[in-house]
Amino acid sequence: MGVLRSDYMVSQSGRRPTLRQVEINTIASSFGFLSERVCRAHRMLALKFPQLRIQLEDMPQNRFMEAIPSAFARALVLYEYKCNIRTQLSKEVFDDERQLKAELARQKSSTLVLFVVQPDERNIADQRFLEFELLSRYGIRSVRKTLAAIGEENQDRSDSILRANEEEVAISYFRAGYTPDDYPNESCWLGRELIESSRSIKCPDIATHLLGTKKVQQYLAKDGVVEKYIFDDEAVRRIRATFATQYGLGVHDDDRELGIAAAKASPELFVLKPQREGGGNNIFGAGIPSHIESMDDSALSAFVLQERFFPTVTRSMFVRSGEIFESDIESELGIFGVLIGSDEKVFLNEYSGHLLRSKVASSNETGFMLGFVLYYFFLVSRKGGQKLAFQFEVAEIVVAK
């Protein structure tokens, strides 16, 4: 199972604005619930203050609150059928919300959703939305545990069942485990190993987790790779149009020397990215050449050199600590999707919401928990029936329909 978020910027580096993929997040993709609340609040303001002249039909609905809890409920039903009931799950139960709820009531399952969290978790509000929705809409209980606690509780396990507080876990949902800081001792590594080797549905499993690395993103951008998985030529063309120019810096990458030369000649056009998540890890501009020079081949191979984006800069107002201030901002759009599948079959693969965040233009980072960004909504309008315009705050970016 995966709750994924693909992030995009509109770059002004060429003759016309172009949509570019920043990265895809495959683990602990955050803030979908908070973004849905922001969208709901702005829709309410549009109704309350008609003088703003904002039409509701120009404000896309954010369905994260609807889609993600439903996907977890379907995954839990699937777990029960595969592990305990051992019969074929009907498509109607999986696809129809009313039948899904009826099946959950019939099963009276005692299994849990396990939230794998960091000690002293700060991003708890976004996570609690899912916890509350699962309980109130579907009667599904959840529990929160750190990797160390999971390792300690399950270290004497003699079967494939993962347990939390002595109860069976159906879904292990990672909101931690994406940074080396989450593995300070062997108990944490054991916790991850026990989850991966259990029969619980992992969100994500280790393979899906690693798909979000920068090296995989670099490999997918190579000629002929996307074509191995998508056979619609037009779809491939549209996907490839969002890819950034990227260079691998490993000793076996055939574009290594070209990338190093480009970074030294024009460092302001690139970002040096390690295989890390969580924000605050990238190297920008003038710092790139010296960083490359300071590393040996082994260390450098862990980095990818990516084209730097130059998004539209607009003027906006922030409220922080009760004070209003004005600043230039840049925006980034995240598109959520949810996936449930096995080695043989894809059960669910659908769009599940969006996230628009904006940062002060002078900052290179876009991490909300690091204090760099605020969340916004966007407007969609049609111009002459020919174009689709995305309005990021006061900016207007026209993309071909």
User: Which residues belong to the active site?
Assistant: 5, 23, 25, 30, 214, 273, 277-278, 357
The Cα–Cα gap between 113 and 72 comes to 8
Q: Where are the beta strands (DSSP E) in 43-200?
A: 112-116, 142-145, 163-164, 167-174
Per-residue three-class SS string for 278-303:
CCCCCEECCHHHHHHHCCCHHHHCCC
The Cα–Cα gap between 331 and 392 comes to 7
Nearest alpha-carbon partner for 145 in 108, 186, 185, 182: 182
The CA–CA distances, whole Å, from 45 to 57, 357, 379 equal 14, 19, 14
Q: Are 10 and 388 in contact (CB under 8 A)?
A: no
The Cα–Cα gap between 28 and 47 comes to 34
User: Residue 358, SS3?
Assistant: strand
Cβ neighbours, 10 Å, residue 29: 26
R_g of the chain computed on alpha carbons? 22
CA trace torsion 343, 344, 347, 352 (10° rounding):
40
The CA–CA distances, whole Å, from 166 to 134, 150, 154, 215, 370 equal 20, 11, 9, 39, 36
The Cα–Cα gap between 179 and 181 comes to 5
